[in-house]
Amino acid sequence: MLQIDLTGKTAIVTGSTAGIGFAIASNLADAGATVIINGRSEGSVGKAVDAMLAETPKRKLHGIAADVTTAEGAAALVEQAGAVDILVNNLGIFGAAEPLEISDDQWLRYFEVNVLSAVRLTRLLLPGMQERGWGRILNIASDSATVIPAEMIHYGVSKTALLGVSRGFAKAAAGTGVTVNSVIAGPTHTPGVEDFVYQLVSKDLPWEQAQREFMKLHRPQSLIQRLIEPVEIANMVAYLASDLASATTGGALRVDGGYVDSILP
């Protein structure tokens, strides 16, 4: 029986106060890691830590509030965290926008949050992982990276860039015991996605009907024909963070419900 054991490891999960990040942090903690919960405000971080401990009191958690979309915030997080073995760059923003109405500022904002936050933290933490001879860097990407949606081109392109970032840093870490991978998450059920769904379908529909309408009209390629639950993404992340995935690096692994129409990962 395969067992994921992260005892003795320290992990940072950015954007882990809710949604996919919350599920990832919970899974890593359940596998024995000491997990640093990160968000922009002390209030949201404290609330998330309390919620995780209420679920499982034995989890080893620390909360650090820092805005990693800035160089100063990223540096502050790393300084407070100390030695980190697992970095999960989960933070991201998304939203629908008319393609020809996306401003320069919006484009820049999406790259600052979805790409450069991951680049900065990788640049700060990868050297220490290399020196210790073990590390895991995981970037949470999206099916939108390979199937660019017309209603949010800026988001999709930023996630495409993140796939390239992952592959490039995997090469930079070659032979050091550090792996770098991206996880392509499909349409996932989070509060933010519920808001997004209601941007595209009638707000008068009850949630289950709205979800089905959204998948039918905007994500018909899904083979599971439902939104993915955050824990399903977290399960892949926990595996990739473990010694079980020691030969997997430079990859883009899909947890997309079969949404991307490809026989390759």
Catalytic residues: 155
Distance of alpha carbon 180 from alpha carbon 251, whole angstroms: 8
Amino acid (1-letter code) at residue 162: L
Cβ(45)–Cβ(65) under 8 Å?
A: yes
Cβ(85)–Cβ(13) under 8 Å?
A: no
Burial 31-62 (b: 16+ CB within 10 A, else e): bbbbbbbbbbeeebbebbbeebeeeeeebebb
DSSP letters, 84-150, are -SEEEE---------GGG--HHHHHHHHIIIIIHHHHHHHHHHHHHHHHT-EEEEEEEEGGGTS--G
Pairing of strands 135-142, 10-13: unpaired
